[in-house]
Structure formats: C-alpha cells, structure tokens
Chain A
Amino acid sequence: MTPITTESTALRTRPRPHILAKRVEREDQGWTSWITTVDHKKLGIMYLVTSFVFFILGGVEAMLMRTQLALPDNTLLTPEKYNQLLTMHGTTMLFLVVVPFWAGFGNYIVPLMIGARDMAFPRINAWSYWMYLFGGIVLYASLLFVPPEAGWTSYPPLSSKEYSPWNGQEAWIYMIHLTGLSSMLGAVNFVATIHNMRAPGMGWGRMPLFCWGILIYAYLIILAFSSLAATVTMLLIDRNFGGNFFDPTESGSVLLYQHLFWFFGHPEVYILVLPGFAAASEILPVFARKPIFGYKAIAAATAAIAFLGALVWAHHMFSAPLSTVVLAFFMLSSFLIAVPTGVKIFNWIATLWRGSIEFKVALYFTAGFIATFLMGGITGIFLAVFPVDWQLHDTYFVVAHFHYTAFAGAAFMIFASIYYWFPKMTGRMLSEGLGKASFWLIFIGFHVTFLIQHSAGLDGMPRRIYEYSEASGWQLYNVISSIGSYILALGVLITMINVVRSLKRGAYAGPDPWKGNTLEWFTPSPPPPHNFDVVPRIRSLEPMRDIRRQVEQQTGVDQQFQPGRPLTKV
C-alpha cells in the first residue's frame, strides 16, 4: 500500500534549508493585515467569506425565481427581471461561489496537508483573490444599470449587440475575464505547490486525496478556462469591434460558440464537484475510523473523470443540428464517465462498511451528498441517451438533474467541509445540534424542491420561462418546489447563525478534534503564520496516525484514541 519511492532517498541526502525561530510574534489581526496579506490561510478565509456572501446573493435570486413560479401567471417579476435573475443566479453560483469556495478550501488546507509553509507564489495568490472579488463586483455593479439577461451560457445571437444592446452583457464578459484569470492563476499556483512543496517522504502514493482532487481541479481549470477566455473574447469582439465569429448573417457560426463554450462548460462541472469528491474521501475515513477503501482506485478515477470530462461536451448540444455519428460518440463518452464515478461511490460505501461510524455533522452532509449525487448520476444516464435527451433537453428535468449533481457534489460537500475544517480555521467547534438541524432542513428542502422538477420536465415544462398558464397543469409541481426552496433556505440560514455564534462562543477545538489522518491536524488551531515548527517525515497515507503511535511508543502512555476505536467514549 505504501511503496517506498526513489524520491525519499534523494530527499534524505539533500540538505534541507530551514529557519530557526527565536521568538514568535503575535499575528496582526487588524483590517490592514487582511487587505495586505499574502498568507494562504488569510486568503483562504477571505475566499470562503466572499464566496459565502455571493452564495447568499445567488440564493436570494433563486428564491425570487421560485416565488415568481409558485403561482401560474404570476406578475411578481417582469420577464426581463426574471431573465436577469436566472442569468445572475447561474453565473453567480458557478463563477463566484463554487469555484472560489474550493479555491478557498484548497488555499487553506492544501499547504497544511502537504506540510508546506505557504503556496508556491503567495503574491500571485493574493492577486488571484482580488481579481475574483473585483470580478464579482463588476457583475453586481450591473444591477445599477441593466444586468445581463441571456442566461449563464450567453448563447449568441441572443447575447449579441443586436438582441442584448445593454452593457450588462459587457459586465458579464468582463467578470468572466477577471474571475477566469483569477482561477487560472490560482490553478497554476496549486499545481506548482502540490508538485514541488510536499513534505519529505510524501510521494504521489502518500498524498492525501483532497490534494489529488485539488490538483486535478487545477489542471481542469487551466484547460477549460483558457477555452472560455477565448470564447468570451470573441463575443466581446463581435459585440463591440465588428467581429462576426458568431453572427449567422455574416457567415459566422452560432454552433461554434456552443462547441467552444461547452468545451469549457463540461469540464467546469467537474471543476465544481471533483474537490467535493476529494473532501468526501477525506471526511469518510476519519468518521468511519477506517482507512479509505481503494486509495489508488479513487485517485485514478479522479484522473479518469477529468480526462473523459474533456471529451463529452457535445452532450449539452444533442438537439442542435449535429450528425448521428457525433451524437453517438458523445453518448458513448458520456456513458464511459459514469464508470469512474460509480467506482468512487462504491469505494465510499466500502469505506463505511465494517467501520465504526461517528455521526458528526460533516458525516451527515457527506452521506447526504452520496445519496443525492447518486440520483443525479442516474438521471445523467437518461440524458446521455440522445434520443431520450430530445425529450428532456432544456426542460425542468435537466434543471433537476444538474442541481442533483452540482448542489450535492458542491454545496453539500462545501457544508461538510465547513463543519469539518471550521475548528482548524478558527480554533472553535461549530454546534452539532444546530448543524444537524441545518442538515435535515437542507436535505429535505433540497429533495422537496428538486425531485418534483423531474416530473415538471417530463410534463413538458421548459427551463427559463418566467410564467406558465393555469391550463398547463404545472402549478402543483411548482408549488411543491417553491415550498421546498424555503425549507432549504432556512437550513442555510441556520448554518450561518451557527458559524457566527461559534466564532465567539464555540467550544475550544484543540489541534485535532476529529483525530484526523492528515497533516493539517498536526498544527495548532488556528495554525500560526508559519504553519509548522517542524515538518514530520511522511511514512504513510495517514501521517497523523503514525505520529500518535510514535507518541505512544515514546511516552509509554496509551493514547485515548486508537485506530478503529470510536472518537467519543461510549
């Protein structure tokens, strides 16, 4: 399981530079320390807080849409307001919430997990954050004028100057450029950090799975966002400088935009969920008190999903004018991607099997993620069969499907990660009671909102419509869905209260409240600016377990927490 790499002997002979500390200065906590910081932990927290603010904004947009749709022929929102809301909701959740949320967790956790002092390029790291923040501000500043209303996909000709003359569309393009550059620079930073700055002894086979997830997330960002940057630049040229890339009246091609956009767009969905998969692979073994089942299979499946994820883009275009050969190819490649995803799910369940499962909130959210994501995976099989997709495409069935995958893979795992790593970041525990209440409200609210949307889609309700008539018979679906969304919102609110309350009043966490396996639990909570006084030599996938065993041997005192034993005394 833990092969000795050739790298380890090389590392042993090479002298390692190290700094001797004479005293420890208390960390500056004033507001200037936040805006001038290049520390990966402070930037990580800034990423997380900013993403959460945008998550609330995107959530409010969703609630407004659900309220509008609760009644047939509702006049709460005008059609243009509704289109603006759906565009802002999708754009916010993808570009300003989930990608930066994982950038935040990656920033904070990856250097700690691999025993590094900081990210490889701390100043670029800070620059990435500020570009992301200003990208978000650019998009939301358009609320003062006319926000974009061509959907988060912004298909031309609808997004062209002729049909969207307002400059909200320009703000959208500018936001994509800023956050895209931010993500790409952040990704380069992750790649450089993970490749070069791992602790001595941490070969590829001993790297935590969360780092595998972030590494592959970073490679996918570099691949996908460069395509997107080119695409929106072409759109910008079309709109403002007389370009005709996508103008059908001037021999441009509307389908070209779709191909380029989805060449970004499908890897994007794996950018959203792979770090979530990776966090699940960290959280499950800790709370099952068991090693992860099939470490190599999970790491290989992550890489396989990323590779295949770049080959399935046209399944978003099954109803476009494409030849049968193309449709068949993309059906097969989409089917193939189900295999590594299935492997992961089986490995997670096998990790729970014969474990001793501690029902902490992080485990609730992770189990909820597996249960929910599985359903999104199964509806994905329906959609991958292109003749069936001709009926389902662009209906509420698809809306339900991608919320089952993205909300489960991203949002559930973001909440799990908050509950798992909050003690490390703040030194305080979150309330378990509030956390469990929050989980059940989110879990039930989510399924009430989205399960019924499959039926709405099967009954012929298309996406992105601001109203429907009473005669359509879609009212019941929409009422149920809207009620669910309020339950879901309440659950999110409780976690917000939990976080704010625990910052001041949470129980002290200590360095290792969960008896984790990975190196971040070796540092105090919160970790000092320099992270580690000494970086231990890595001998296995679970260095903290080795450290605990070593302490036991050297002190002759049995540790209270042993592998496989329950976390709490029962």
Chain B
Amino acid sequence: MLSRRALLVAAGAGLLGILLLAPSAMAGVFTPQAEGGSTNAEEIRILYNLIGVIGLIVFIGVEGLLIYCLVKYRAQKGTVAAQIHGNTRLEVGWTVGAALILVFLIVFTFIKLDDIKNPPASLNAPDGTPVSADGSVQFASTDQPAPPNPETALNIKVDGQQYVWRYQYPGDERVFAYETMVVPRGTTVTLDISADDVMHSFWIPALGGKMDAVPGYVNKTWFRAENEGTYTGQCAELCGRNHANMYAQVDVVSPEEYQRWYAQQVEAIDEAQQLGAEQRQQLEASQGEQAAQGGGGAGGATDDQ
C-alpha cells in the first residue's frame, strides 16, 4: 500500500517537475516552443506552465472524484441511494473556490503581462554598439509602447500577401526581403504587421506569440533574439488555397553579418531596379511598334514574351 502511494507521489512530482522545468526537449509536446528564442516567448511559456500545474491539479482532483463516485457507488445488492437534494454550503464553497483559483491566475497574468507585451531596450544597436540600460522606463499602455532608446531598435513592417511575407526595413535605402527576415542578435525588433489582400497571421513560435495581419489595420508585436540561429514559422490564419505553404523565417545573425547582408540587399535591389527599368523601356518600345502595326492580337503577343 505504502509503495503504491509512494509511486503515485513520485509520478505526480515527476509530472509537476516536467511541467515546471520543461526542458527544451519537452517544448512542443507539453508546453509551447521557446527554445532560446525571445524573452516574450519564454515568459509566455512560464505563464503556460503555471496554468498547466493548476489545471493538472484540478484535472486529477475532479476526474478522480468522478471515477471514485462511479466505482464506489455502482448499483450492488442492497445499495440504497441517499435521497439528497442539495447542500447550499457546498454550492457556495465550490463556487468561491473556483473563483479564487481564477483570481490567482488573473493576478499572475497581469504580473507577467508587462514583460510579454512591452518591448525592452535593445542589448545592442543593429550596428553592434552596446546600448546602456539607462532610461529604460516602461509604461502600461493600451497600445504597444516604443522600446526604450527607440533609435537603437529595428522597426520592420511585415506585410502579408497571398502567399508570402514581405519585410520592409527602415531607412532611406528601402531595403526589403521576402519570406526570410534577417535581424541582428540582441537588437529589439518591433514589427508593424499588416496585409495587402486577405487576412494572414504572422507567427514564429520561438520568438513570441502570433499577431494577425489584417488589411486596413496595423498590428504590433516585438522580439529580441539573443542567440544566433534560424527560427521558423508559418501563416496561422486561413488565407486561401496555399495557406499551408506560406512560410516565415527569421535568421538571427551577428551585427557584423547583418551589416554585410544589408549592404548586399541594397546593391541587389539597385541592380534589380535598373534591370527592371531597362526591361520596361524595351517592353514599351516593342508595344509601341505593335500598336503602330495596329494588330488585334497585340496583347497576346506581349504575353508570349
């Protein structure tokens, strides 16, 4: 009897331990992914685990009571059901008890909310210069506030289109990228998320929660990745036939590499624009010729090119 109880206690403690500590191997099976990504994803995981522990206790307690009643009070020879109609004290008791658990969860959520919702200061600017921690005053707001020292943060406009993500970087160079976002490690990245056509939802699990990309609205979220690496996700809102293939990826690189990549993009975009301009001129010229010939099938001929 003792050994069985000891076993139960051990199993319970083990489960609690798994939920509380939740090593990264367990992420994705029992608790949300966060593995070394952004602090907001970590905080969400802690919140999730706390609810998980309370939920597990409630689950075991209530299911245990149900199974106990079903087994203990099954109809047997000579059993007579007690004719009880109710008990007001018991009713009030479990109403208040349930409410208290929820009050606890609410308080804990609001304690955690600041760290999840409000972007912190960058550890270093996009060019790698360290940022001092002064002036990091956070304030509650109905909207996402700017991070402290906003000039050291990176604000990227995320735009959902059927079926690709477009990232617009700040700056006069007007650098943009599709599908893969490259960011420097340690810099706070704030995202302004919107969509061009239908609704999408931008989500990289290890870098925090998802935010819907709603045409006509700008939705905000942020992340600050402290480890270099590749973080993947995909569109989370049904956006049409190829919703399943709308991937998103964030490559977190060292500040130096980020600068290199940025310069490369500037060059590549310039080249592409020049090439595009040339092609446009050629096209216009050929269209002009065809229009001069007055051919009815001019449109079809253009498409063939």
Contact = CB atoms under 8 A, between A and B. Distances in A.
Contact of B82 (A294, A297, A468, A564): A564
Contacts of A367: 66, 70
Contact of B95 (A325, A343, A390, A565): A343
Given A464-B243, A570-B76, A157 B197 contact: yes
B73 A354 contact: yes
Interface residues of B, number: 90
B198 A346 contact: no
Interface in B82-113: 82-87, 90-91, 94-95, 98-99, 102, 105-106, 109-110, 112-113
A544 B27 CA distance: 55
A394 B236 contact: yes
Interface stretch (A57-65, A285-293, A527-535): A285-293
A63 B233 CA distance: 27
B216 interface: yes
A115 to B, nearest CB: 23
Contacts of B109: 331, 385, 387
Interface stretch (A193-201, A374-382, A427-435, A490-498): A374-382
A320 B212 contact: yes
B81 A460 contact: no
B141 A319 contact: no
B201 interface: yes
Q: Which of B28, B31, B43, B113 neighbours the largest number of chain A CB atoms within 10 Å of its CB?
A: B28
A143 interface: no
A328 B110 CA distance: 9
Contacts, number: 279
A350 interface: yes
A302 interface: no
Interface string A227-255: 00000000000000000000011001111
Contact of B216 (A254, A465, A565): A254
Contacts of B112: 387
A157 B243 CA distance: 14
B240 interface: yes
A163 B163 CA distance: 13
Given A356-B79, A462-B236, A335 B74 contact: no
B86 A294 contact: yes
Interface stretch (B55-63, B171-179, B250-258, B294-302): B55-63
Q: Which of A151, A331, A346, A564 neighbours the largest number of chain B CB atoms within 10 Å of its CB?
A: A346
Nearest to A466: B244
B201 A391 contact: no
B233 A293 contact: no
Contacts of A356: 73-76, 79-81
B209 interface: yes
A151 B237 CA distance: 10
A314 interface: no
A393 B102 contact: no
Contact of B69 (A80, A292, A352): A352
A296 interface: yes
Interface in B178-222: 197-199, 201, 203, 205, 208-212, 214-221
A6 interface: no
Interface string B226-249: 000000011111111111110000
Given A387-B44, A460-B33, A565-B80, A345 B62 contact: yes
A11 interface: no
Contact of A563 (B30, B48, B83): B83
A291 B84 contact: yes
Interface in A342-375: 342-343, 345-347, 349-350, 352-359, 367, 370-371, 374-375
A36 interface: no
Q: Which of A324, A332, A374, A564 neighbours the largest number of chain B CB atoms within 10 Å of its CB?
A: A324
Contact of A253 (B27, B69, B208, B216): B216
Contacts of A390: 44, 208-211, 221
Contacts of A458: 27-33
Contacts of B20: none
Contact of A460 (B94, B219, B233): B233
Q: How large is the interface on A (under 10, 10 to 19, 20 to 34, 35 or more residues)?
A: 35 or more
B305 interface: no
B117 A83 contact: no
Q: Which of B30, B47, B63, B210 neighbours the largest number of chain A CB atoms within 10 Å of its CB?
A: B210
A371 B65 CA distance: 10
Nearest to B41: A391
Contact of B99 (A1, A339, A455, A563): A339
Contacts of A375: 59
A550 B65 CA distance: 37
B259 to A, nearest CB: 30
A564 B81 contact: yes
A487 interface: no
Nearest to A301: B95
A387 B47 contact: yes
A321 interface: yes
B98 A388 contact: no
Contacts of B240: 83, 158, 163
B10 to A, nearest CB: 23
A321 B75 contact: no
A374 B59 contact: yes
B244 A357 contact: no
Contacts of A83: 238, 240-241, 243
A288 B81 contact: yes
A79 interface: yes
B164 interface: no
A374 B74 CA distance: 22
Nearest to B203: A462
Contacts of A29: none
A293 B199 contact: no
A297 B219 CA distance: 43
Contacts of A321: 211-212, 214, 217-220
B77 interface: yes
Given A320-B212, A357-B73, A564-B81, A343 B94 contact: yes
A473 B217 CA distance: 34
Interface string A381-403: 11001011111111100000000
Contacts of B220: 321
B143 interface: yes
Interface string A141-159: 0000000011100010110
Interface in A498-531: none
Nearest to A378: B55
B116 interface: yes
A285 B230 CA distance: 58
A367 B162 CA distance: 46
Contacts of B86: 1, 293-297
A323 interface: yes
Given A328-B110, A381-B105, 16 more contacts: A1-B86, A158-B199, A289-B81, A290-B82, A291-B85, A297-B91, A321-B214, A343-B91, A346-B94, A388-B32, A455-B29, A458-B30, A458-B32, A567-B75, A570-B75, A570-B76
21 contacts: A158-B199, A158-B240, A249-B216, A290-B82, A323-B142, A324-B113, A331-B109, A336-B102, A339-B102, A343-B95, A350-B87, A350-B90, A357-B70, A382-B52, A387-B112, A458-B31, A462-B235, A463-B236, A463-B238, A466-B244, A570-B76
